[in-house]
Amino acid sequence: MNKKIELIDVSYVYGERTPFEITALKNVNLNIEAGSVTGIIGHTGSGKSTLVRLFNGLERPASGKVLLDGVDIWEKPKEIGKVRYRVGLVMQYPEYQLFEETVAADIAYGPKNMGLDADAVEERVKKYSALVGLSEEDLQKSPFELSGGQKRRAAIAGIMAMKPEVLVLDEPAAGLDPVGRNLIFDAIEEYRAVEGATVIIVSHSMEDMAARCDRVIVMSDGEVVADGTRDEVFSCADKLVSVGLDVPEITKLAELLASRGFDFGKTVYTVSDAADIICRALSGGGNE
Amino acid sequence: MTHLIETRELCFSYDDEENESTENKLEGKYALCGVNITIDKGEFVAVVGRNGSGKSTFAKLLNLVLEASSGEVYIDGKKVSPEMTDEELLDLRRRVGMVFQNPDNQLVATIVEEDVAFGPENLGIPSAEIRERVDAALELVGMTEYARHEPHRLSGGQKQRVAIAGIIAMMPECMIFDESTAMLDPSGRAEVVDVMEKLVREKGITVINITHLMSEAARADRIIVINEGKVIGEGTPKEIFTNTELVRRAGLELPQCAALLGELRARGVRIDGAGITPDECADIIIKKLQNREEE
Amino acid sequence: MKNISLGQYYPTGSVIHRLDGRVKIILAVIHIIATFLCESLASFACLFVGTLVLVLMTRIPLGVVLRSVRAIVYILIITFILNAFFTVGEGEPLFSVWIFTLYIEGIWNAAFMALRILSLILGTSIFISYTTTPIQLTDSIESLLSPLKKLKLPVHDFAMMMSIALRFIPTISDETDRIMTAQKARGADFTTGSLIKRAKALIPVLVPLFVSAFRRADELATAMECRCYHGGEGRTKMTVPHLCARDIAAVGLMLAFGAALVLLNRVDFLYKMV
């Protein structure tokens, strides 16, 4: 496995030495494989939001190391700003960070901070606004004239325009309807394919995670409780339930069917997979 | 018999509202046109539609947060209009309570119980009775132990439950949830929908849940589907869930199990009955498989 | 940032915490007046013993109380120096350098002035900042000012605004934190460069913050209307504060304490202000 990001024994404490001290992360060890789509799931307050802020050096661990391509990102604390360009973070409800007069200017904010020249900035604005599905016309509008879903995509383009090697997204589809959600996930997938980037998605939606991620990390109470391929993690439903999470509905259905004598033969996540297997069984080629 | 809520040819266009922000204008570009809906006392209705379909606009017309461009709204046979007197308007707002999307932007006080008391205080209820109502409302939503807490330290689901208690304390006949679960995590969502069900089943309050989540709509007695400002379908959850085409046209998505049945149907498998929960779907699929073995 | 607690409220559940908010404001005012009436060493000594007893009664750790004193230490020093050198005494000056002349009266006056300021800070800390929640304070101010409603002053609206402000300060402070983090992730730098550069760096934080504050205000106004808010008229309160024996006794004792201080001014021990 080619490790893009590696966390070694990382702990993080909020409000150290005050009466409000909270340990957000306890001795976390994990690897993010280069080029993979990794999902991080966990209950609110499980430490996953702190975790994503550690990846790009917005927070510094109380102890332990965060390695990017094998190099400790805090080796030269003064250069931590550069890490933020390499690991792009899209926070929850990113549309609330839009501030410029036009969408184009807003997307250009990150690349400009990187010190790119005007031509390069413009090229990136064009490329990534198109990638998230915004039109030329949208670019000249004020961000506040866009619809909710468009604003979200403009904000994501603003991070993509920094061309990060790792794209981290915290609940990218929160509050959007299915159409808006698919547009966002498609854009993320395209970015990964075009740039060969590593993608990390934090989400509550088991269905989205199962459909989009290769690897899944489960957090609970500041610790990693499961880490593995999608099949490995979702096949232990009991463990997920014990930390207050769920399995995708279709996986639940598969379990019910298995207990009543019909085994899918593998862990299923998508509707079409399940339909394939059932149809095959119905047409005589049963799995039993 | 008069219905609790009745709308006749209800239309709304944001062009009439000069004060509305641009975002609202955009969300409502389809506005609302020719909506005829009746809702009876004690019903649990879900109004579903994609972002910008007009479902939220519809909700806001019911208690005059927005004014209709044309058409009428009747609450308990009484016409809702901007010409109402101040007392009539207050009475309308008391009877038709509303819980909004952002839990932070509807709590006014720095202490939970003070916030719940806000509505009854506005209505001029005697102090001792407010106390009773507040205690009962907090009990109903399961927030009694947080009565003296500060709202900003609560979770999203807890904040929404406090907001609900604040409406219940005004003793409404009907409660509208305007995408009240959209900003919550799954456990917060479950907390809020559980409370909705309790309101209908135990208190006989009419509940209207505006949402784009079909899994939530499944818990209602009746689903109204809105798209581009028009009602495009109406029926029990089972009826709507088997109408895959309608759901797709509305830009919505069925929960996976119901979608699986739809997919099987689309592939030519004859499915009898409708299933929404994994259990129901498992029953149907097992039955189908057994039938095949018998054939 | 996460656990910002508004003001300095320090809950211990002491007798003073449990007093009615209005009573605490009145007590603070009596304490202030008493402080200014003190003129002799005897009354100052008594004032400080009394204040110390009150501090102990709040059951707030002394270290916490001293923190509020530490904030004004420079003011105390400057007051002391100015008073010491600008008082002209009757007897021989203690010493004289260039234009500065120090009399014994100067030292006494300076000490008394510094003690007064210290007493003012301690008094308001004991009765208001440490023991009264902001919301209790707003309610009490509204209640005490309610006679002004007859003069058509918008006392209720003012109190409502204050309480909404208090409710939203933590929310908006969290949001500021979130927006700053989001912009930092896009390479914003708030800590280096010239003053102008740093001020400019704040634009990406301030614009979204204002936009969001207006949106919040709009939504909150709608929510309030939906909850039948229509100004202060005809409004009732869930908790109508009633003064209990404890409150009346506290005001009585405080008045007696003030009177004692005035009487002690007559005791001419070591020094008396002129």
Interface confidence (ipTM) of the complex: 0.89
Q: Kindly list the residues from chain C whose CB atom is less than 8 angstroms away from the CB atom of residue B86.
A: 230
Tell me which residue in B110, B150, B170 faces C227 most closely, judged by beta carbons: B170
Amino acid of residue B197: E
User: Which ranges of B72-185 does DSSP label H, i.e. alpha helix?
Assistant: 86-95, 112-122, 127-140, 156-168
Chain C: partners with 3+ C-beta pairs within 8 Å:
A, B
Q: What is the pLDDT of residue A197?
A: 96
- Give the model confidence (pLDDT) of B163-220 as tens digits: 999 999 999 999 999 999 999 988 899 999 999 999 999 999 999 999 999 999 999 9
Quote the CA–CA distance of B63 and B95 in Å, as a whole number: 9
Q: Is the torsion defined by CA of A47, A48, A52, A53 positive or negative?
A: negative
* Region for B154 from its dihedrals, namely left if φ exceeds 0, alpha if ψ lies in -120 to 50, beta otherwise: beta
Residues B29 and B103 in one domain: yes
Please give the residue of chain A at the shortest CA–CA distance from B157: A44
Tell me which residue in B100, B114, B122 faces C235 most closely, judged by beta carbons: B122
Please give the residue of chain B at the shortest CA–CA distance from A288: B289
Residues B289 and B247 in one domain: no
- Give the model confidence (pLDDT) of A250-260 as tens digits: 888 988 898 88
Tell me which residue in A174, A178, A271 faces B256 most closely, judged by beta carbons: A271
The token duo for A72 is: 């400790």
Digitized pLDDT (tens) for each residue of chain C, 274 residues in all = 333 344 567 878 888 988 999 999 999 999 999 999 888 888 888 998 999 999 999 888 888 888 778 878 888 999 888 888 888 777 777 777 777 788 888 888 888 889 899 999 888 888 888 888 877 888 888 888 888 888 888 888 888 888 898 889 889 998 999 999 999 999 998 888 888 888 888 999 999 999 999 999 999 999 999 999 998 888 888 888 788 899 999 999 999 999 998 888 887 666 666 5
Q: B72: domain CATH number? A: 3.40.50.300
Q: Is C238 on the interface with A (CB under 8 A)?
A: no
Domain coordinates in residue numbering, chain C: 15-144+242-264, 152-226
Amino acid of residue C246: R
**Cβ proximity of A139 and A129 under 8 Å:** yes
Assigned domain for B120 exists: no
Residues B232 and B210 in one domain: yes
The tally of CA atoms less than 13 A away on the side-chain side of residue B109 is 24
Top CATH class of A3-247 equals: alpha beta
Q: Is B270 on the interface with C (CB under 8 A)?
A: no
Quote the CA–CA distance of C151 and C129 in Å, as a whole number: 30
| Helix or strand (DSSP H, E) at A200 | strand A198-202
Quote the CA–CA distance of A254 and B205 in Å, as a whole number: 37
Question: How distant is the Cα of C146 from the closest Cα of chain B, in angstroms?
Answer: 17
Torsions phi, psi of A31, nearest 5?
Answer: -125, 140
Residues B266 and B294 in one domain: yes
Domain coordinates in residue numbering, chain A: 3-247, 248-288
Please give the residue of chain C at the shortest CA–CA distance from B108: C164
Question: How distant is the Cα of C132 from the closest Cα of chain A, in angstroms?
Answer: 20
Assigned domain for B159 exists: no
Task: Give the total number of structural domains in chain B.
Answer: 2
Residues B240 and B260 in one domain: no
pTM for the full predicted model:
0.86
Residues B207 and B267 in one domain: no
Q: Round the average pLDDT of chain B to a whole number and report it.
A: 90
Q: Helices (H) and strands (E) in chain A — how many of each?
A: 12, 10
Assigned domain for B207 exists: yes
Distances (CA, A) of C54 to B43, C76, C85: 60, 22, 33
Do B105 and C228 make contact, defined as CB atoms within 8 angstroms? no
Residues B224 and B272 in one domain: no
* Region for B209 from its dihedrals, namely left if φ exceeds 0, alpha if ψ lies in -120 to 50, beta otherwise: beta
Assigned domain for B165 exists: no
Strands B230-235 and C95-97: unpaired
Chain B: partners with 3+ C-beta pairs within 8 Å:
A, C
Sheet holding A37-42, edge to edge: A87-90, A166-170, A198-202, A37-42, A215-220, A223-229
Residues B228 and B270 in one domain: no
Domain containing B223 equals: 5-108+173-251
Question: How distant is the Cα of B285 from the closest Cα of chain A, in angstroms?
Answer: 8
Residues B14 and B39 in one domain: yes
Do B282 and A257 make contact, defined as CB atoms within 8 angstroms? yes
C-alpha distance across the termini of chain B, in Å:
51
Burial of residue C135 (number of CB atoms within 10 Å: 0-12, 13-18, 19+)? buried
Assigned domain for B39 exists: yes
Q: What is the pLDDT of residue B8?
A: 93
Residues B182 and B291 in one domain: no
- Give the model confidence (pLDDT) of A208-246 as tens digits: 888 889 999 999 989 999 999 988 888 888 888 888 888
Residues B178 and B295 in one domain: no
DSSP bridge pairs for A37: A199
Quote the CA–CA distance of C62 and C24 in Å, as a whole number: 20
Q: Is B130 on the interface with C (CB under 8 A)?
A: yes
